[in-house]
């Protein structure tokens, strides 16, 4: 299993990472984004400082929990940048476990292959901001060809596999009007789940002084987003 990506984190049981299921979670290192609000930034910028966990060790543990977990969530970092991701998925699926993949959507052709060949059972895609180059790049921390993001969203909207679109909400990067702009662009998708920003240890230390939305305010915004998303099918193109 030489090509298997390194595993830098392992949660044996999670009730949060796969909605409605209990899963184990694997964290793969490195990412092609530098989101200023990222709380897993050690995985992104200093993965070498983290001990690697062998896939054999992981397999031994999840085999022992076969009756308790529904599957394995592969997260990161960004899993799809690893050439050996498919081999890892094949090994885990051969043990009889379903796979959920967390992704930033920058590798639409990889996603298409995994979906069409039925290697994944669910996908969660982080949508960083409004679907234009400037807004998206500000939220991702690097220049992002927005057409790649659009391709991944449109692929998921074909409903070949259950999926979730989610956004981490940082008030200084995503004021309320920008969140509603995103919702308009995603009309007809299964939804857009808003996640509150945690200022404790973001990649950009300047964000430590940014207050997140209150839970009440975030709930209010989520309700408005849900109403917008229920609109007609079709991804808005500018």
What tokens were used for 137? 């790049």
What tokens were used for 110? 């990889």
This model's pTM is above 0.75: yes
Query: For the segment 74-83, what is each residue's pLDDT rounded down to a tens digit?
Result: 999 999 999 9
3-state secondary structure of 224: helix
The distance from CA 99 to its chain's CA centroid, rounded to whole angstroms, is 14
Give me the residue spans of the domains in the chain.
9-174
Q: How confident is the model at residue 188 (pLDDT cuts 50, 70, 90)?
A: confident
Phi and psi at residue 31, in whole multiples of 5°?
-160, 150
Residue 236 confidence (pLDDT): 43
Residue 235 confidence (pLDDT): 45
Of the chain, the percentage scoring pLDDT greater than 70 comes to: 96
Q: How confident is the model at residue 232 (pLDDT cuts 50, 70, 90)?
A: very low
Q: How confident is the model at residue 3 (pLDDT cuts 50, 70, 90)?
A: confident
Average pLDDT over residues 24-28: 97
Whether omega before 77 lies within 30 degrees of 0, making that bond cis, reads yes
Residue 192 confidence (pLDDT): 97
Please give the CATH architecture assigned to the domain spanning 9-174. Answer: Alpha-Beta Barrel (3.20)
Phi and psi at residue 225, in whole multiples of 5°?
-60, -45
3-state secondary structure of 72: strand
Query: For the segment 134-187, what is each residue's pLDDT rounded down to a tens digit?
Result: 999 999 999 999 999 999 999 999 999 999 999 999 999 999 999 999 999 999
């Amino acid at each position: 299993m030489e090509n298997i990506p390194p595993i830098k984190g392992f949660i044996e049981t999670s009730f949060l990472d796969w909605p409605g299921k209990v899963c184990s979670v694997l964290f793969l290192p490195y990412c092609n984004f530098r989101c200023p609000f990222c709380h897993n930034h050690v995985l992104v910028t200093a993965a070498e400082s983290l001990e690697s966990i062998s896939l054999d060790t992981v397999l031994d543990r999840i085999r022992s929990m076969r009756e308790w977990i529904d599957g394995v969530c592969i997260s990161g970092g960004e899993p799809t940048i690893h050439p050996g991701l498919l081999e890892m998925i094949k090994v885990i699926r051969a043990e009889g476990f379903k796979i959920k993949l967390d992704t930033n959507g920058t590798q639409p052709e990889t996603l298409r292959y995994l979906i069409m060949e039925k290697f994944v059972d669910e996908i969660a895609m982080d949508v960083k901001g409004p679907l234009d180059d400037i807004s998206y790049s500000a939220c991702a921390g690097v220049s992002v060809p927005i057409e790649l993001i659009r391709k991944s969203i449109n692929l998921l909207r074909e409903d070949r596999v259950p999926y979730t679109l989610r956004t981490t909400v940082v008030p200084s990067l995503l004021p309320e009007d920008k969140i509603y702009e995103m919702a308009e662009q995603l009309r007809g998708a299964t939804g857009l789940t808003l996640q509150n920003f945690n200022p404790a240890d973001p990649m950009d230390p300047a964000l430590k002084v940014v207050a997140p939305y209150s839970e009440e305010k975030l709930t209010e915004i989520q309700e408005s987003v849900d109403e917008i998303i229920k609109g007609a099918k079709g991804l808005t193109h500018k």
